[in-house]
Amino acid sequence: MVDSPSSIEQAFQAIDSQGRRVRPGCVLIDPDRIDRRINDLAAQIAETYTGQGQDELVIVAIMTGAMVFLADLVRAIRRPIRMGIMIVTNYPGVATKAVGPQLDYDLRIDITDKHVLVIDDILDTGGTLAKVTERIRSRSPRSVRTCVLLEKDIPDPRAIEADFVGFRVPNEFVIGYGLDYDGLFRNYPGIAVLESAEHEG
């Protein structure tokens, strides 16, 4: 899909750190759909933990990609929660091929005997969530579940499946709503396929 030059996607056009012109291309999910789906997910999550009394729920977000999703999701969950973060890097700089998850900042809050819900922006091979949940499990939580906004439609089996999934997307490099390319596009409000000058005709 080619957007008209006046479209919102045009406003996000940028130059990456290797001098290539990049922008959001084909729009997969618009902000209204994200908003509606987040309300469903939040209701599902609150329901899942109902009846588990006053047991504490700790939401652990995988930064930096989950930042925008986290902010919207937690404000739609109608129950008490605590929040913590871990920083995991998978695509340094202009990479659009993963180098494998690297832990840059570990969780600093106590999760012993607590319900933990790990939140990430997108599930691809599952390497990130597998690594993070293994680390969390070693700290004796009461339960560990996972929630991702997006799940990539990949041909191979993944290391881990998520308990809550917002949308399935094609097996392409996507950006927006927290997901970046070269640190760019996290503030684009929808989800789009990355378009770069090399791919243009």
Let me know: does 74 contact 88? Beta carbons within 8 Å. Answer: no
Does position 126 interact with ligand IMP (CB under 6 A)? The reply is yes
Contact between 126 and Mg ion by CB under 5 A: the answer reads: no
Hey, what amino acid is at 50? T
Contact 178, 166 (CB under 8 A): no
70 and 120 in contact (C-beta within 8 Å)?
A: no
Positions 9 through 28 that interact with ligand IMP (CB under 6 A): none
x/- mask, ligand IMP, residues 90-109, rule CB under 6 A, reads xx------x--x--------
Nearer to ligand IMP, 49 or 194 (CB): 194
- What count of other Cβ atoms lies within 10 Å of the Cβ of residue 131? 19
Given the residues 120, 121, 124, 182, select the one marked as catalytic. 124
Are residues 181 and 96 in contact, defined by beta-carbon separation less than 8 angstroms? yes
Residue type, 161: E
Site size toward Mg ion (CB under 5 A) is: 1
Which residues touch 108 (CB under 8 Å, ≥6 apart)?
Answer: 84
Q: For residue 124, indicate whether it is catalytic.
A: yes
Query: Interaction with Mg ion in 50-69: which residues (CB under 5 A)?
Result: 65
Cβ at position 66, least distance to ligand IMP in Å: 7
Q: How far is the CB of 163 from ligand IMP (least distance, A)?
A: 15
- Give me 108's structure tokens: 């600093």
Instruction: Pick between residue 55 and residue 161 the one whose CB is nearest to ligand IMP.
Output: 161
Q: Is 124 in the site for ligand IMP (CB under 6 A)?
A: yes
**Catalytic machinery residues:** 124
